[in-house]
Structure 1
Amino acid sequence: MPQLTFTAVMQLVLLLSAFPAQYLILKWSGSTPAQRFHSSAKFIHKWKEWRSSYLNVSVWSDWVKLQLSKVSSVFNMEEDDGYQLSDIEPMMFDNDQGFFGASKVARSPRPPYVFLRVGEVVMDRRSHQIGVVVSWDTELRAPTKWVDWVYRKTEDVAAKTPHYKVFFSGPGPHHIVVAYLPQTALQRLTGTRPKIPNLDKFFTHFDGDRFVPKPWLREIFPEDVDDGS
Structure 2
Amino acid sequence: MPATMRAREPVPAPPPPPARGRHGLAASFGFAWTGLAETAIRDRNLRIHLALGVLAAAFAAAAPISPGERALLLALVALVPAAEAANSALEAAVDLASPGRSEGARIAKDAAAGAVLALAAGSVLAFLAILPPAWPAIWARATALAPAAAGALGAAAAAGLLPGPLPGGRGLRAMLAAGGLAGLVPLARAAEGQAGTAAAALLLALAADAARRRGDR
| Class of the TM-score when normalised by the shorter of the 2 chains | under 0.3
Larger Rg: 1
Q: TM-score, normalised by structure 1?
A: 0.25
Q: Which protein is richer in strand relative to its size?
A: 1
Considering Cα pairs closer than 8 Å and 6+ residues apart, tell me whether 1 or 2 has the greater RCO.
Answer: 2
